[in-house]
Amino acid sequence: MVLSRQTVAVIGAGNIGRALIGGLLKGGYLGADQVRATRRNPLALDELQASFPGIHTGTDNVAAVDEASVVVLAIKPQNAGQIIEEIRDHVRKDALIVSVLAGITTEALQASFAHHLAVVRTMPNTPMLVDEGATAIAGGRFTTEEHMTIARHMFEAVGKVEEVPEYLMDAVTGLSGSGPAYVYMFVEALTDAGVKQGLPRPTAFRLAGQTVFGAAKLVLETGKHPAILRDEVTTPGGTAIAAIAELESHGLRTMLINAVATATKRSKELSEIKK
């Protein structure tokens, strides 16, 4: 199975589904005629068609999955049961199901479909809307290496991909799935901090956003430990160390460790409810 030869049906082409379609087409991984996308809102479907000319769009989920070799479930978890019921007898027996449904296990999905389908569960995040997503993928019982490669290549079209055992998906949800929210708070707070020191808000906002973006890029591109990069900007007796001491005294690390632990616990609780 090679991604370029697949017919991909995206069931629920909202934020996540649309971003995935955009990445796959822009990167040249798939031709427009290899993509089928569904949602209910006809105006939104027109808009989708206008943005990605040549893809097949419609409200008919059964027609979309009929010939598809890869079916992406990108609807909200609360709509999943009814939609799976609708398509289960029409999905090809050799199809790969790629799920972005938060908290729904591969076992639960396998059990919902009529045959033993290959399922890859994923946890992307919204920076995939700007091709900078962080997505974790986990295979199910009937998933082969080829299936994992297809799923990996799909999400690499919109960012970076990590393969994890499925039991770690709640931790991924706590870290990168929910993580953009923590970073937005950080950017917002840094902006306010700049405003407090007299910077015009738009200037403070741009400086804060670019600082987060640039520092993240430096971490990823150099591969250096963040502590080393921090030491490199910390002059003895200087400004950075004065601020670092302040952050440490308020327990920045402990706060983040506890925040991710709480989000991970909540993710576990929510998947228990969905079982």
Ligand X SMILES: NC(=O)c1ccc[n+]([C@@H]2O[C@H](COP(=O)([O-])OP(=O)(O)OC[C@H]3O[C@@H](n4cnc5c(N)ncnc54)[C@H](OP(=O)(O)O)[C@@H]3O)[C@@H](O)[C@H]2O)c1
Cβ atoms < 10 Å from Cβ of 275: 9
Residue 275 has which token pair?
């079982």
Which positions ≥6 away from 17 have C-beta within 8 Å? 10, 11, 37, 39, 72, 74, 100
Which residue number, 12 or 139, has a Cβ lying nearer to ligand X?
12
In angstroms and rounded to an integer, the radius of gyration of the C-alpha atoms of the chain is 21
Residue 113 has which token pair?
């479909």
How near is the Cβ of 62 to ligand X at its closest, in Å? Answer: 10
Which residue number, 62 or 233, has a Cβ lying nearer to ligand X?
62
Which residue number, 7 or 38, has a Cβ lying nearer to ligand X?
38
d(C-alpha 57, C-alpha 39), whole Å: 8
Nearest CA to 57 out of 71, 40, 37 is that of 37
d(C-alpha 55, C-alpha 37), whole Å: 7
d(C-alpha 102, C-alpha 271), whole Å: 8
How near is the Cβ of 248 to ligand X at its closest, in Å? Answer: 31
Which residue number, 98 or 101, has a Cβ lying nearer to ligand X?
101
Could you identify the residue written with the tokens 């076992």? 107
How near is the Cβ of 82 to ligand X at its closest, in Å? Answer: 7
Which residue number, 164 or 229, has a Cβ lying nearer to ligand X?
164
190 sits in which H/E element: helix 179-196
> ∠ at Cα 92 (103, 102), nearest 5°?
10
How near is the Cβ of 219 to ligand X at its closest, in Å? Answer: 22
Minimal CB distance to ligand X: which residue? 14
How near is the Cβ of 144 to ligand X at its closest, in Å? Answer: 24
Which residue number, 5 or 40, has a Cβ lying nearer to ligand X?
40
Which residue number, 7 or 194, has a Cβ lying nearer to ligand X?
7
How near is the Cβ of 212 to ligand X at its closest, in Å? Answer: 18
Instruction: Provide the b/e sequence for 187-216 (b: ≥16 CB within 10 Å).
Output: beebbeebeeeebeeeebbeebbeeeeeee
- DSSP SS3 for 119: strand
Residues that bind ligand X (CB under 6 A): 11-17, 38-41, 44, 61, 74-77, 79, 83, 100-102, 123-126, 177
- Strand 70-73 relative to strand 118-123, pairing: unpaired
How near is the Cβ of 54 to ligand X at its closest, in Å? Answer: 20
